[in-house]
Amino acid sequence: MVTGVLFTVVSRGYFRFFWFLAFLIFLLTGCGNQPDGPLSRSKSGMSARVVEVIDGDTVRVEFLSGPAVGLKGRGSDVSGLQSPVQVSPVEKVRLIGVNAPETGGKGQAGELFGLKAKEYTKEHLLNRVVTLEFDVVYRDRYGRLLAYVYSEEKLFNRQLVEDGYAQLYTSPPNLLHLEELLAAQREAVRSGRGLWGVRDFHSGRVVGNRRSFVYHRPGCNHLPSLANRVWFDSEKEAVLAGYRPCKSCFRSPQKAGNRR
Ligand SMILES: [Zn+2]
């Protein structure tokens, strides 16, 4: 069932040298003042149509063409093995670096803003042709593709965070657009956009894990080892630094049930 046609996409290797050259030219010609920041809007990706929006940060896509040229995916699957990016004709895609509130299933209340986030993603991506860009790890342990989704030249992952429909989800080693996403989140928090407008921050100190980017209440059972602890004076400070809440000690009160 799962087999089907696999497209093989060439990545890495000699592209590294190409990017190095491109970077040199970029430096020498001094054209570094793009309005959108230092990250290029590379077209190197795969074109696909969004056929279903599962929730705010997860969609199903149908690939339109075979192998794309110059794919940025540096290519390893969840096992960490370096390999070419392989995709099936239809794939479930989890957006990298963002986490939209859950929509809730049968008998679940769903998180605040979960349905709104889903609507927002539907409005912007459903039935659109998008470009997928990959990072170091391109598939998660549930078999979903991990990607940055560009719609009309814009990085939708960023847009989702910027408008307050998703929280930044820092997930090493997929950090290609971290700075851009973090800047978007800071902006959203400061302006109280979307979910940030209805969210209360814990005012006491919280403990961050510098490896996983998760923060905890000081009494949590899942505190990181001493060497990996980063202290923040408040929850808001941790959020502004790109950390996300522990699901155990910062469990959302709107969430009635467990969902992966
Ligand atoms: Zn915790």
How much distance in Å is there from the Cα of 197 to the middle of ligand 1? 23
Domain shared by 239 and 137, yes or no:
no
Last residue of a domain, one of 199, 214, 230: 199
Tell me: the pLDDT tens digits for 174-223?
A: 999 999 999 999 999 999 999 999 888 999 999 999 999 999 999 999 99
Q: What is the pLDDT of residue 110?
A: 65
Domain shared by 194 and 215, yes or no:
no
| 2 falls within a domain | no
How much distance in Å is there from the Cα of 251 to the middle of ligand 1? 9
Domain shared by 71 and 31, yes or no:
yes
User: Domain with 181 in it: what CATH number?
Assistant: 2.40.50.90
Number of other residues whose CB lies within 10 A of the CB of residue 69: 10
Write the CA distances from 235 to 69, 202, 254, 259, integer angstroms: 43, 5, 19, 24
Q: Which amino acid is present at 168?
A: L
How much distance in Å is there from the Cα of 215 to the middle of ligand 1? 7
Domain shared by 155 and 56, yes or no:
yes
Residue ranges of the chain with per-residue pLDDT less than 70: 1-44, 65-84, 105-110, 252-260
| 101 falls within a domain | yes
Domain shared by 61 and 146, yes or no:
yes
Strand partners, 206: 232
Domain shared by 150 and 207, yes or no:
no
Q: What is the DSSP string of 176-188?
A: TTHHHHHHHHHHH
The residue segments making up the domain with residue 224 are 201-255
How much distance in Å is there from the Cα of 193 to the middle of ligand 1? 26
Q: What is the pLDDT of residue 113?
A: 85
How much distance in Å is there from the Cα of 224 to the middle of ligand 1? 9
Q: What is the pLDDT of residue 65?
A: 65
How much distance in Å is there from the Cα of 217 to the middle of ligand 1? 6
User: Domain with 231 in it: what CATH number?
Assistant: 3.40.10.10
How much distance in Å is there from the Cα of 107 to the middle of ligand 1? 26
How much distance in Å is there from the Cα of 152 to the middle of ligand 1? 39
How much distance in Å is there from the Cα of 233 to the middle of ligand 1? 16
Last residue of a domain, one of 182, 199, 216: 199
Domain shared by 72 and 161, yes or no:
yes
Place of tokens 């795969």: 46
Structural domains of the chain, count: 2
Write the CA distances from 229 to 175, 181, 214, 248, integer angstroms: 20, 23, 10, 17
How much distance in Å is there from the Cα of 167 to the middle of ligand 1? 17
For the four alpha carbons of 71, 67, 172 and 79, in that order, the dihedral sign comes to: negative
How much distance in Å is there from the Cα of 244 to the middle of ligand 1? 10
Residue 193's Cβ-count burial label (10 Å; 0-12, 13-18, 19+) is middle
How much distance in Å is there from the Cα of 32 to the middle of ligand 1? 41
| 1 falls within a domain | no
How much distance in Å is there from the Cα of 78 to the middle of ligand 1? 25
How much distance in Å is there from the Cα of 30 to the middle of ligand 1? 46
How much distance in Å is there from the Cα of 219 to the middle of ligand 1? 8
Q: What is the pLDDT of residue 36?
A: 36
